[in-house]
Structure 1
């Protein structure tokens, strides 16, 4: 899927690329693309330079080291993920169960659209990334939002009598698993009949969520807002 950003009108549009001369962002984007291609951090800065048409010394004018570049790439990834989440929450309405699912939809579609950023943030965090105060603040913001939504859903009686941490872990496992079906290109092997069905993400989330839903929750999940990314063409960048 092409990059999705909110406009002031609330509509979605494709990101068209960087402004001319925005070398720093172009370098970060090149790193994300290299990670998506190789599923590793084993790349050289000269490869990055080749992709954006610049030299290694020019990269060092923007980033102190490769590790510094990875930290900034991870931080940029969280900004992109939050763009997806903000858009999804805007479409979800006030029903808390809809909002909880919206966060999951945003997580998966961010991964599908930006696999390099997703892999770096979720599977390849370096010590330097984890030591970044900015990165940790971004992560905490997401965790706090999920905690608040799950707490509110529990107060509405949507969940069975299970501990909150178990619900949070179950939701994370579902989101991470669904995202990896796409980033690892596993859907074609485990469920090829689902390829091309854009409602798959919503159906998988609802199936996963039912494991912790009460009777009231199961009734409510049938009325929640749908996946806001479902009708956006899923085109490779």
Structure 2
């Protein structure tokens, strides 16, 4: 079962002491919490220090400046996102179509569970974040996985042969758009009769992917397992 720490966001707690390594993690979580609340990077390191319950000089012992802290927070966010993805892939069916859906479900659930990390990684990337070699590797790893699954869907006759980049863009638009609608509380405005539907994410993904499916692909998607995060959304 997915680690309980990944199924819901945790409020940052002020502490008088930390075990080795915990302070850095608490700082990352505080940054993500501030971004989630403010929907921007408009905060100072003193705000982070106050939220964690440490001093601003203590933060400077770990991070050179705010930009370096944002880079490492984004890297940490990708690590959390990967845990969601790995969990979904581990329990998904073996077909590349089922695995592709699992990656999409994990993406949206991560955005809803850790909105601050998600916003930093997807909407508020700084030049420093984008130029980080580690961040680039993490992003490229994710994109390569999705591209490989799409290519395998075509090779195994689940998708029609078409432009892989077109499929990639369509699915990414669906995932990012749905995630942002949840983050900005727009679903209730757009679809009042659907926003509480716990199956909405899987329903939207299946509608989005339908135009690419062959008859065999449609059979596979009918037999695809449920979104593993539906009970926690």
TM-score by length of 1: 0.90
1:117 & 1:146 partners in 2: Cα distance? 21
1:12 aligns with 2
Within a 5 Å distance, the mapping from 1:20-39 to structure 2 comes to 21=18, 22-39=22-39
1:139 & 1:29 partners in 2: Cα distance? 20
Within a 5 Å distance, the mapping from 1:1-237 to structure 2 comes to 11-15=1-5, 21=18, 22-232=22-232, 234=233
Greater than 3 Å deviation, 4+ residue runs: 16-20
1:214 & 1:79 partners in 2: Cα distance? 34
1:146 Cα offset (Å)? 0.6
Range with greater deviation from structure 2 (156-165 or 44-53): 156-165
1:96 Cα offset (Å)? 1.4
3-state DSSP class of the match of 1:198? coil
1:161 & 1:132 partners in 2: Cα distance? 35
1:196 Cα offset (Å)? 2.5
1:101 & 1:167 partners in 2: Cα distance? 13
3-state DSSP class of the match of 1:15? helix
1:130 Cα offset (Å)? 0.7
The one of the two structures with greater contact order (alpha-carbon pairs below 8 A, sep at least 6) is 1
1:28 & 1:59 partners in 2: Cα distance? 11
1:225 Cα offset (Å)? 1.5
Range with greater deviation from structure 2 (176-185 or 215-224): 215-224
For 1:104-128, what per-residue CA distance to the aligned partner results, in whole angstroms no more than 9, with x for missing partners?
0000000000010111101111011
Check conservation: 2:151, 2:164, Cα contact below 8 A: yes
1:66 Cα offset (Å)? 0.1
Aligned residues: 223
1:106 & 1:214 partners in 2: Cα distance? 24
Give ranges in structure 2 of 5+ residues lacking alignment.
none
Report the aligned-residue RMSD.
1.6
2:213 & 2:181 partners in 1: Cα distance? 24
TM-score by length of 2: 0.92
